[in-house]
Structure 1
């Protein structure tokens, strides 16, 4: 599995131009038109079923990841019951081939999965924004150098590089895994942000700021980035989901953390001990469903946000 190579379309026009902020779609008949950009965005956000559904699933899983380990203190890999027991009142998700509680592993695995997604996606987003903004605004030789760097990283087989690095690490941790994922996942985001910046740097408000003597950094952070805020947020969502998928892939093939537990490691253990052939569906279904639910909710949220931020796609 690889990181998504598509980019959010909510603010991209035919030439990669950001949607004009403040554009107002007609309000439904009999409803008062919302005033202000924020009020307008909220007005359509609370009426978008995709966004609300994705946000509800994501929030539920996130709360489980944050609160669950506090309620289920202890080692999730501890042997707490009889082996290979199906779900019951005592063990909600049953037990593994070794008598470990699957629900405890699932809850702790959710936290690990969110950790990899947030850190890996965050690192990729920061690098992508720095490279994309700098290349798009400065242009010239700076743009050429950063474009060359982006293309080099883009054509590298990221998963293969991660496989080699993880294979030669004596002790692997979730944080190290997330950092490597972030360092190899940013090129497509940098190229997308660069395209948006190239468009915005030619706008009148950017020219006015430049003529006023405002520094490059302030122009990027105060003039260009705010006009791309929705686009940047949706880019981070895609990077978040991509980091989770890559992390789960590494875990599943046995190159996950050497200590602890994750949803990908649960799938790896279930596959190693023939859970499918033994009919122990409760061992591999929860982690697989958890990964699918997290990534699926992120992409559904992204589609909903696209419809909210893009006036042409809004459901009135």
Structure 2
């Protein structure tokens, strides 16, 4: 073989030395998707959440009357006409359930989102900056952490004449962030001493760019699971406030349905269809979220993966 023929016989392709580096990210994402599709906890929780979310979004579109409208005979058990029966006042329980699911998901999204945002800002800032900034933010976090959040929410809700989902979600988010901030701070404090972060500092990048381009991407899975826990926690807190009568003054929620059922003696009258569906709805949402979180932990943590 001559020197002129050798290049023609060589099969073109990527350089073996650089191929693993180029494909490392894609291979990691592929492994994550592979184990996610095989994790029964994640799939089961996701299926339940998907069904309830679809009900919350689609069902109210096909309900002509409002959730508090008197549409039928009073205290009727479930039937073909009224799937979940009616209340003491002739209101459709299924209509209330569908609208209540929507309110519940909205409270979880807004309340959990506010708590996650505040927790990430404080946690990342304290973990990356350290020193006096860390001490001050840690002190503020500890003060809010020891406050009885539910008592604060009850007092705030009691003094508000008009309460809506937005206001309720804001109060829940502003009292639910401390544990998330402490957890994120601990992770950020560990990553802030890594070589790639030191290299980013030496290159002259600003602190917030280092946080969002170097530290946060390495915690993406942890942040996502933290948001799921905050989402479920916001739903539970909102349900507790609604159940004691401090929920939204207008509209309907699953917690308010349970409050109204107890207030109007649904249990004593044997009207189980008034309070059982909202109770099961809250349990299914929160339980599925926590099951999803366990499944995601098994997917993202190689030590917990089941082959």
Q: Same fold (TM over 0.5)?
A: yes
User: Which aligned pairs between 1:270-281 and structure 2 lie closer than 5 A?
Assistant: 270-281=261-272
Per-residue deviation, residues 257-305 of structure 1 (Å, max 9, x unmatched)? 1110000000000000111111101000100000000000100000000
CA RMSD of aligned residues (A): 0.9
2:223 equivalent in structure 1? 232
Q: What SS does the aligned partner of 1:286 have?
A: helix
Q: If you compute each CA radius of gyration, which structure gives the higher value, 1 or 2?
A: 2
- Unpaired runs of at least 5, structure 2: 1-24
Q: Using the TM superposition, give the Cα deviation of residue 38 of structure 1 relative to its aligned residue in structure 2, in angstroms.
A: 0.6
Which consecutive aligned stretches of 4+ in structure 1 deviate over 4 angstroms post-superposition? Answer: none
Q: Using the TM superposition, give the Cα deviation of residue 36 of structure 1 relative to its aligned residue in structure 2, in angstroms.
A: 1.1
TM-score for both structures, normalised by structure 2:
0.91
2:29 equivalent in structure 1? 38
Per-residue deviation, residues 86-119 of structure 1 (Å, max 9, x unmatched)? 0000000000011100000000000000010000
User: Which aligned pairs between 1:117-128 and structure 2 lie closer than 5 A?
Assistant: 117-128=108-119
Asked if 1:168 is matched to 2:147, the reply is: no
- Unpaired runs of at least 5, structure 1: 1-33
Q: What SS does the aligned partner of 2:124 have?
A: helix
CA distance 1:126–1:73, change in 2 (3 Å): farther
Asked if 1:51 is matched to 2:42, the reply is: yes
The match for 1:100 among 77, 87, 91 is 91
1:212 equivalent in structure 2? 203
* Residues 112 and 230, structure 2, Cα contact 8 Å, conserved in 1: yes
CA distance in 2 between partners of 1:105 and 1:116 (Å): 16
CA distance in 2 between partners of 1:239 and 1:266 (Å): 23
Q: Using the TM superposition, give the Cα deviation of residue 73 of structure 1 relative to its aligned residue in structure 2, in angstroms.
A: 3.7
CA distance in 2 between partners of 1:304 and 1:219 (Å): 30
Q: Using the TM superposition, give the Cα deviation of residue 69 of structure 1 relative to its aligned residue in structure 2, in angstroms.
A: 1.3
1:82 equivalent in structure 2? 73
Q: Using the TM superposition, give the Cα deviation of residue 66 of structure 1 relative to its aligned residue in structure 2, in angstroms.
A: 1.1
CA distance in 1 between partners of 2:57 and 2:214 (Å): 36
Per-residue deviation, residues 125-171 of structure 1 (Å, max 9, x unmatched)? 00000000000000000001100110110011000000000000011
Q: Using the TM superposition, give the Cα deviation of residue 35 of structure 1 relative to its aligned residue in structure 2, in angstroms.
A: 5.9
1:139 equivalent in structure 2? 130
Bigger relative contact order, structure 1 or 2, given CA contacts below 8 A and separation 6+?
1
Q: Using the TM superposition, give the Cα deviation of residue 72 of structure 1 relative to its aligned residue in structure 2, in angstroms.
A: 1.3
Higher helix share: 2
* Residues 65 and 71, structure 2, Cα contact 8 Å, conserved in 1: no
Q: Using the TM superposition, give the Cα deviation of residue 124 of structure 1 relative to its aligned residue in structure 2, in angstroms.
A: 0.1
1:269 equivalent in structure 2? 260
2:10 equivalent in structure 1? none
CA distance in 2 between partners of 1:90 and 1:56 (Å): 27
